[in-house]
């Protein structure tokens, strides 16, 4: 069987079986109801509260039909109220989440493979998972993926 080789700092780990790479990400997704989110119509002040209280660096933005519309990070919120000379806190109430969120984002389908998730999570802490209609299903995080990977490696070695 062809082995999977993972390049490390000094050496390569060679895995004989790589079936887990072809498992659907749906099995590893943190479900939508457990994912902190904000709605498109919320203002930036509400988003700042959610981000601060949850401690997450970035959260999904959903519409009233639970469709994924974008991502909002703490940095996006603070950037949106930076004036030339000072921070314009009063703007937090005026700005709507959909005016400041990042609307272009990569997503996975629940049927996409673990391998596809792995490729993306090298550069990002999580990726959103949607169904065919764009309805938010949850997120695949780097943490969950690494835990699965660790479990797998310990079973193989
Ligand atoms: P983790 O790999 O668990 O550290 O999560 C990485 C990132 O995924 C966090 O910084 C958040 O942006 C996002 N995240 C993880 N879990 C949740 C959750 N339950 N609700 C919202 N965002 C989450």
Question: What's the pTM value of the predicted model, to 2 decimals?
Answer: 0.86
Task: Calculate how far, in angstroms, residue 115's C-alpha sits from the geometric centre of ligand 1.
Answer: 20
What number is the average pLDDT over the span 48-76? Answer: 97
Residue 10 lies in a domain: no
Rg, C-alpha atoms of the chain:
19
Specify the number of domains making up the chain.
1
Residue 12 lies in a domain: no
pLDDT at position 45 over 50: yes
Name the H helices within the chain. Answer: 44-54, 74-80, 91-94, 97-100, 114-121, 142-156
Residue 3 lies in a domain: no
Rounded to 10 degrees, the C-alpha dihedral 124/130/135/139 comes to -50
> What confidence tier does 1 reach under pLDDT thresholds 50, 70, 90?
very low
Residue 53 lies in a domain: yes
pLDDT in tens, 78-122: 999 998 889 999 999 999 999 999 999 999 999 999 899 999 999
Domain that holds residue 67: 19-156
Residue 2 lies in a domain: no
Residue 9 lies in a domain: no
Name the residue at shortest CA distance from atom 14 of ligand 1.
56
Residue 13 lies in a domain: no
How does the average pLDDT of the chain come out, rounded? 89
């Amino acid at each position: 069987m062809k082995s999977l080789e993972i390049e490390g700092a000094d050496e390569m780990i060679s895995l004989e079986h790589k079936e887990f790479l072809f498992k659907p990400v749906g099995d590893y997704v943190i479900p939508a109801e457990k994912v902190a989110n904000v709605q498109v119509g919320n203002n930036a002040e509400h988003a700042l509260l959610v981000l601060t209280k949850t401690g997450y660096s970035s959260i999904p933005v959903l519409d009233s039909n639970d469709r994924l519309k974008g991502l909002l990070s703490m940095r996006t919120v603070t950037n949106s109220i930076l004036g030339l000379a000072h921070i314009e806190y009063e703007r937090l109430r005026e700005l709507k989440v959909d005016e400041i969120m990042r609307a272009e984002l990569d997503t996975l389908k629940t049927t996409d493979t673990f391998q596809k998730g792995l490729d993306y999570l090298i550069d990002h802490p999580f990726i959103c998972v949607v169904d065919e209609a764009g309805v938010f299903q949850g997120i695949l995080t780097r943490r969950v993926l690494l835990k699965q990977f660790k479990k797998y490696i310990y079973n193989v070695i």
